[in-house]
Amino acid sequence: MKKLKRILALIGVVLLLGVYALTMITALMDSPQAGGWFKASLACTIGIPIFLYACILVYRWTRK
């Protein structure tokens, strides 16, 4: 279980860093989509950890 948590945490960190980097790049390039990427970044900041936590809960329920 600990190994699964570590793997999911690492996946979450990589996904969030990727979203933040993409948001920063579009903002620096003065892209018209920068506002949309910022909103997506905010949604992912909340959604990705909740999704990964739900995956861990489902794993616990199915393994007992």
* pLDDT on residue 41: 82
- Measured in whole angstroms, the distance separating CA 60 from the mean position of its chain's CA atoms is 21
Identify the pLDDT of residue 34: 77
Give start and end residues of each alpha helix (H) in 1-64.
2-28, 34-63
Given a cut of 80, whether residue 19 has pLDDT beyond it is: yes
Q: pLDDT tier at 14 (50, 70, 90 boundaries)?
A: very high
pTM: predicted TM-score of the whole model, two decimal places: 0.69
Q: Using one digit for the tens of pLDDT, what is the confidence trace for 21-56?
A: 888 888 888 878 778 888 888 888 889 889 988 988
Residues near 1 by Cβ (< 8 Å), separated by ≥ 6? 59, 60
